[in-house]
Amino acid sequence: MTVLVTGGAGYIGSHTLVELLEAGRDVVVLDNFCNSTPESLRRVEAITGKSLTLVEGDIRDRPLVETTLRKHKIASVIHFAGLKAVGASGTDPLEYYNINVVGSERLFSAMKACEIFNLVFSSSATVYGEAEYLPFDEDHPLRVTNPYGRTKLMIEDMLRDLQKSDQRWRIATLRYFNPVGAHPSGMIGEDPRGEPSNLMPFVSDVAMGRRDQLVIHGDDYDTPDGTGIRDFIHVVDLARGHLNALDGLVQHGSFAVNLGTGQGNSVMEMVSMFERVSNRKIARQIGPRRPGDIAVSYAATHKALAILGWQAQLGLYEMCRDQWNWVSKNPEGFGNVVELEQGMLPGMETPQDAASQRQWGRRERDWA
């Protein structure tokens, strides 16, 4: 029962691989490393003492995806691969539509051709947009405010249509709230390229002395301390949810569920907790509200509990503690990407399809 994990080298993917391997699943990763490095996969293997198979390539490379599905007798797919920066999606929307929407369509078409109908898809709470009521339950109207969010909603719509067209599809649509933290080993974590736009990586950078100060985007919201409130969820809890979702497909067929804690914490609460666990002062100033931000977001969690038997177990303390453990042990993240990539090309298989390899920069490796 091998699972194909697209985007498995990324932040959430790598943590999910740990859970899958520890649960004894066989795993194939398809990733083009456009926002990650193979080092995260090495670390996953080191944490678990288990090996995985890597296919380096692009989800848009339909022949490669189909070959991978058949060659490795894939039973289910967990689909993380895509771009996720809200701001960048506004400056280069076509790139987002291409990679996220076209890429997903190619993947689903390849799955259909191979008669593989079990899918877990990474959606986002961003599909709810501005809150009509709180907490966000899965029946909340869906309306998006930026191109990134639109790609997620388009993929969700594509999946709803697909499921209606053929009852053999079993699709888990997981709407993540705000994933933060790192594996408690301190060996894997989020390693953003360039200036982070999300709160926790930015706070970590300030604690590490890499940036002078955090700008808090507004303290005049209608919240107890005036700063925005989010449902931060430990990435290990989130990763566990994917295992439950795979099992849930068998029992329940298709569903959309929130993965959040159900608990809102403010930006200031996050900063204070980070100061406590790191024993460092986080310099900050109050700036204006960030365009597009909503004041408060947190999840209704009863559906995840009912369908998946899953609920988050870790709180803000563990999120900040494990993030600090990761960044303080790995001040360079996974290290210099170029050096790592050059040094990590053992056992490359000769590609069968040279034209396709040129088009996508594909390299298939005998990972073991």
Q: If you write DSSP's letter for every residue of 354-367 in order, what string do you get? A: HHHHHHHT-EEE--
How many residues are recorded in the chain? 368
If one asks whether residue 81 binds ligand WQD (CB under 6 A), the answer comes out as no
If one asks whether residue 81 binds ligand NAD (CB under 6 A), the answer comes out as yes
Q: Is 221 an active-site residue?
A: no
Q: Could you tell me the two tokens for 279? A: 């024993």
If one asks whether residue 7 binds ligand NAD (CB under 6 A), the answer comes out as yes
Question: Which among 75-83, 206-214, 319-327, 340-348 is the span making contact with ligand NAD, rule CB under 6 A?
Answer: 75-83
If one asks whether residue 260 binds ligand NAD (CB under 6 A), the answer comes out as no
Give the residue at shortest CB distance from ligand WQD: 228
Residue 77 pairs in a beta bridge with 4, 119
Q: Could you tell me the two tokens for 283? A: 């310099």
- Site residues for ligand WQD, window 304-363 (CB under 6 A)? none
- Site residues for ligand WQD, window 238-277 (CB under 6 A)? 267
If one asks whether residue 36 binds ligand NAD (CB under 6 A), the answer comes out as yes
Upper half-sphere CA count for residue 159 (Cβ side, 13 Å): 28
Question: Which among 6-14, 17-25, 47-55, 194-202 is the span making contact with ligand WQD, rule CB under 6 A?
Answer: 194-202
31 contact choice in ligand WQD, ligand NAD, none (CB below 5 to 8 Å, kind-dependent)? ligand NAD
**For residue 24, how many other CB atoms are within 10 A of its CB?**
8
Binding mask 111-130 for ligand NAD (x = CB under 6 A): -----------x-x------
CB of 84 to ligand NAD, least distance (A): 4
Calpha distance 187→185 (Å, rounded):
5
If one asks whether residue 128 binds ligand WQD (CB under 6 A), the answer comes out as no
Calpha distance 93→111 (Å, rounded):
26
If one asks whether residue 199 binds ligand WQD (CB under 6 A), the answer comes out as yes
- Residue 339: CB partners within 8 Å, gap ≥ 6? none
Among 86, 110, 273, 327, binds ligand WQD (CB under 6 A): 86
Question: Which among 30-38, 160-168, 325-333, 335-343 is the span making contact with ligand NAD, rule CB under 6 A?
Answer: 30-38
Pairing mode, strands 53-56 and 214-217: unpaired
Calpha distance 55→337 (Å, rounded):
18
Cα 174 versus chain centre, distance:
10
Pairing mode, strands 265-266 and 229-230: antiparallel
Closest C-alpha among 159, 61, 169 to residue 106: 61
264: three-class secondary structure by DSSP? coil
Give the residue at shortest CB distance from ligand NAD: 10
Question: Which among 2-10, 219-227, 292-300, 332-340 is the span making contact with ligand NAD, rule CB under 6 A?
Answer: 2-10
Upper half-sphere CA count for residue 25 (Cβ side, 13 Å): 25
Is the CB of residue 170 less than 8 Å from the CB of residue 118?
Answer: yes
If one asks whether residue 31 binds ligand NAD (CB under 6 A), the answer comes out as yes
Calpha distance 240→233 (Å, rounded):
12
Among 9, 214, 245, 273, binds ligand WQD (CB under 6 A): 214
Catalytic-role residue among 11, 148, 176, 221? 148
Residues forming the site for ligand WQD (CB under 6 A):
84, 86, 124, 126, 178, 197-199, 202, 214-217, 228, 230, 267, 290, 293
Residues lying near ligand NAD in the complex (CB under 6 A) are found at 6-7, 9-13, 30-36, 58-60, 80-82, 84, 99, 103, 122, 124, 176, 179
Annotated active-site positions, please? 148
